[in-house]
Chain A
Amino acid sequence: EPEVTQTPSHQVTQMGQEVILRCVPISNHLYFYWYRQILGQKVEFLVSFYNNEISEKSEIFDDQFSVERPDGSNFTLKIRSTKLEDSAMYFCASKLAGNPFYEQYFGPGTRLTVT
């Protein structure tokens, strides 16, 4: 069964450093998402991406964050200058089409630790 993959599984970085989290969505999916989950808290929506542009973003997704689909397979989340509070699990998801009839498929996550 096709699945969403994410790399790395765990990333440790120092405050102020840039990090790039990578995702390979399911190959025929057209909609892509990033969510995060701070330890012990809810899963929070960050951003959705379709047709090479952001379609929706949350208040969390400020100027420090950016997303890109650099080629036909990868979908990346960049945090320009990490803060301690960015420490969380980051989940990538993809979906075949945009309407709510379709489900989102989530990856296993990248644990980001900012020290």
Chain B
Amino acid sequence: DAKTTQPNSMESNEEEPVHLPCNHSTISGTDYIHWYRQLPSQGPEYVIHGLTSNVNNRMASLAIAEDRKSSTLILHRATLRDAAVYYCILHPYNTDKLIFGTGTRLQVFP
């Protein structure tokens, strides 16, 4: 399984943008980059995913490096509700399981 590397923790102030990095240097050409988050005492929640191009949705933006060896999840204005563990996951085409790492624990301060 291709591996991702994320910082253990990050901090932000409310209403500031947050950039959560992820390195995935062994990514293969057909791996999708998925981001999920897990709020305290809840199940994982889908955030966004992409293959090659940058993506935007109502929750976040995903910036993918041109060589695809890294990506950045961008929360444009962090809220207290965004405090969670964020997981960057590579999703190969030939499997359906999600392999969760330890993720980045995001703390948001008022």
* A residues whose Cβ falls under 8 Å from a Cβ of B: 4, 31, 33, 35, 42-45, 48, 50, 55-56, 58, 91, 93, 95, 98-101, 103-109
Interface membership of B70, Cβ < 8 A: no
Q: Is chain B's interface secondary structure helix, strand, loop, or mixed overall?
A: loop
Choose the segment among B17-25, B42-50, B71-79 that binds chain A (4+ C-beta atoms closer than 8 Å). Answer: B42-50
User: Whole-angstrom distance between the alpha carbons of A58 and B100 in the complex?
Assistant: 13
**CB-contact partner of B91 in A35, A100, A108, under 8 A:** A100
Contact in complex: B102, A58 (CB < 8 Å): no
Residue total for B at the interface (Cβ-Cβ under 8 A): 22
Using a CB–CB cutoff of 8 Å, the interface residues on chain B facing chain A are: 31-32, 34, 38, 42-46, 49, 87, 91-93, 95-102
When the two chains form the complex, which single residue of A43, A48, A93 contacts B38, counting CB atoms closer than 8 Å? A43
Task: Indicate if the CB atoms of B100 and A105 lie closer than 8 Å.
Answer: no
